[in-house]
Chains A and B, each alone.
Chain A
Amino acid sequence: MGALNIITYIFIIIGLFFNAVGVFGLHRFPDMYTRLHAATKCTTFGSIFLIMAVIVQSAGIWAMEGAFSSQSILSIHAVIALVALLITNATSAHAIARAAHRSGEKPARAVVDDLEGKDIDD
């Protein structure tokens, strides 16, 4: 149980650090695209590690208590939540960036827009 606790602590610390960095970048960057970059990447990474800590801890209790532990449901459902988070975060970030570019949002201090007039209508 000792090694499992150490792994859980490390995962929690990594997750909290990256979540804090993502929220910090949400306030420090100048325009919408850089904020999206900082917030989405760091927050997804941090949330993955925080949920991984929950999975490791509950799976450890499950393995210790035997097959009919109440932690088995928590462990399996946490894996499902992790997969849902992985799929939805990347897709919604892409949708936000595409919608913002098509609505005419410009990056801060931008000189050249390489995608000007190259939008393919679906």
Chain B
Amino acid sequence: MMWLPAAIVMMVCIVIAVVRIFIGPGAPTRLVAFDTTNTLVVALLVALALMFEQVVFVDVAIVYAVLSFIMTLYVARFIEGKKF
């Protein structure tokens, strides 16, 4: 199967998105890049679960998706400048 080339392409995409986190001007751009990175990491984890035949990776991907969603909401609230 082509899961190994797919995983390598996804890792290259993640590295390119992380570069935008470091060079992006301003907090909102960095948050957008971080959200993109989280989505790509979830997809990569699900692909790696089938590649290594480990079901635990998918559970990690579910928890990662929910926690990154909470983090994104928290940082967006911080950018908005409101009290919690």
* Contact with A88, one of B20, B31, B47, B66 (Cβ below 8 angstroms): B66
Contact present for A16 and B10 (CB under 8 Å)? yes
Contact present for B42 and A47 (CB under 8 Å)? yes
Cβ of A95 within 8 Å of any chain B Cβ, yes or no, is: yes
Contact present for B36 and A91 (CB under 8 Å)? no
By size class, the interface of chain B is 35 or more
Given the complex, which residues of A lie within 8 Å of B66, measured CB to CB? 84, 88
A window 1-44: CB within 8 A of B: 5, 8-9, 12, 15-16, 19-20, 22-23, 26-27, 32, 35-36, 39-40, 43-44
Contact present for A70 and B53 (CB under 8 Å)? yes
* Contact with B65, one of A36, A50, A74, A84 (Cβ below 8 angstroms): A84
Residue of B nearest to A21 (CB): B13
Given the complex, which residues of A lie within 8 Å of B58, measured CB to CB? 74, 77-78, 80-81
Give 22 CB contacts A-B under 8 Å.
A9-B2, A15-B43, A16-B6, A20-B9, A27-B19, A27-B20, A35-B32, A36-B32, A46-B43, A47-B42, A50-B47, A51-B43, A54-B50, A81-B46, A84-B62, A88-B65, A91-B69, A95-B72, A95-B73, A98-B76, A99-B80, A100-B79
Question: CB within 8 Å of A: which residues of B?
Answer: 1-2, 6, 9-10, 13, 16-17, 19-20, 26, 28-29, 31-33, 35-36, 39-40, 42-43, 46-47, 49-50, 53, 55, 58-59, 61-62, 65-66, 68-69, 72-73, 76-77, 79-81
Question: CB within 8 Å of B: which residues of A?
Answer: 5, 8-9, 12, 15-16, 19-20, 22-23, 26-27, 32, 35-36, 39-40, 43-44, 46-47, 50-51, 53-54, 57-58, 70, 73-74, 77-78, 80-81, 84-85, 88-89, 91-93, 95-96, 98-100, 102-103, 105
